[in-house]
Structure 1
Amino acid sequence: MKKNIIALTVAGALAGGSLSLAAAENPDIETMDQKVSYGVGLIMGERMINDVPDLQMEQFLQGFRHGHAGDEDQKRMSREEVQRAMMEYQAQMQEQAGAQQQELAQKNLEAGQQFLAENAEREGVQTTESGLQYEIIEEGDGDTPSAEDRVRVHYTGELISGQVFDSSRERGEPVTFGLNQVIPGWTEGLQLMPEGSRAKLYIPADLAYGPGGNQRIGPNETLVFDVELLKINPGS
């Protein structure tokens, strides 16, 4: 988009074509009306970076001018045509986002599979029938929990890139939860750890958050957790 040239040209048209380029680029912001007008434009511009990433500045400014003038004869599209265009655009954006999500999911899946294949060859790493991998760092001497138990743990969660996405250690507070309330990789992995153990869990995507991911984890991410099983059924 040729935003710099178009914006100056149309800004002059908004003022009746009488402004010089320098004045159009740096209008006065002194009166309350001028400040409010600039502020509204600034907020709208910031929002549209994400809402309409391919905003065509010339058409936008013309539509803004026609809408603000309130002259129906000036308007080049009916309200129905605008709504239809908006709906079609939204559908197109959703389709593009879906395609990008699928592409990223496949990329993450393949990277995770390669990581797990190489990791399985390391000494001390064991692989279960489900595909979960685990590595005991410190062996505890307590009981092992069942899926119906509650556990208190300290943990650090990483992507295979090494990026930490969550850590109870950083927060300075262990967490307590039911083993049947977490991702399958945790439910299975914690049942392999005697109380007092510390282990690394290497969790494939299908035992984690799958193709949907979540706010901090992308689609089909393989996850690595450094987990300490502090207590089974704390408080009991």
Structure 2
Amino acid sequence: MSTTAVPLRPIARGSLTRLWIGVAAVALAAGGLAWAGQRGVEPSPASFLAHNAREAGVVTTASGLQYKVLQDGAGPNPTSSDVALVGYKGTLLDGTTFDENPQTAMPIDGVVPGFSEGLQKMKKGGKYRLWIPPQLGYGEQAAGPIPANAVLVFDVLLHDFKSKADIMRMQQMMQQQQGGAPAPMPGR
């Protein structure tokens, strides 16, 4: 029996280090490509809402609306027959602002169902963050800058609210006051 010896050349100094550096560079490049491929990809509304429901302080209602109390208010809650004076900022999940108003009056029954439901949870002076699922927002319709099937995110401050009947009485009183005495003519 004979053994054949194969001559092995010795490994050059630093070759093993260069090999590991190369493996690390390939792994980093693969990770970078995977991260770049995921950038800008939004989660589906259902997966976002499922993840968001597990966040601290987030409450999910039976309809699917999610909200978080940022600041408690005081007093009674408005009803669907009230008009609310609110400040709000509406954004998409990617942070794009689609609407904002520091103070506006809106009938609670005249807004998308999720916003209406959220307002009815609030008290005067309260500030909430609402996550409105597509079925409680605009659904499969695109609405201006809001794409179809979008989750709407609102930060809402409820300044005050009044019943529609109170507002009608106030308007009638103002009309009577304005109609009672004729306004003076300019320059006389």
Partner of 1:138: 71
CA contact (8 A) 1:142 1:196 kept: no
1:124 pairs with one of 57, 61, 82: 57
Stretches of structure 1 that go unaligned for 5 or more consecutive residues are 1-106
Which structure has the highest helix share of the two?
1
Tell me if 1:183 matches 2:112.
yes
User: More relative contact order in 1 or in 2 (CA 8 Å, sep 6+)?
Assistant: 2
Per-residue deviation at 1:213?
1.9
Per-residue deviation at 1:142?
2.0
Calculate the TM-score normalised by the size of structure 2.
0.63
Partner of 1:196: 125
Which is higher, the Rg of structure 1 or of structure 2? 2
Q: What pairs with 1:1-236 in structure 2 (closer than 5 Å)?
A: 111-169=44-102, 174-233=103-162
CA distances 1:171-212 after superposition (whole Å, capped 9, x unpaired):
xxx110111100000111111011110000000000001101
Q: Secondary structure at the match of 2:87?
A: strand
Stretches of structure 2 that go unaligned for 5 or more consecutive residues are 1-40, 171-188
Per-residue deviation at 1:119?
0.7
Aligned-partner Cα distance in 2 for 1:141–1:217 = 33
CA contact (8 A) 1:196 1:230 kept: yes
* Percent identity over paired residues: 38
Matched letter for residue 100 of structure 2: S
Calculate the TM-score normalised by the size of structure 1.
0.51
Matched letter for residue 204 of structure 1: P
Matched letter for residue 120 of structure 1: A
Which structure has the highest strand share of the two?
2
List structure 1 runs of 4+ shifted beyond 4 angstroms: none
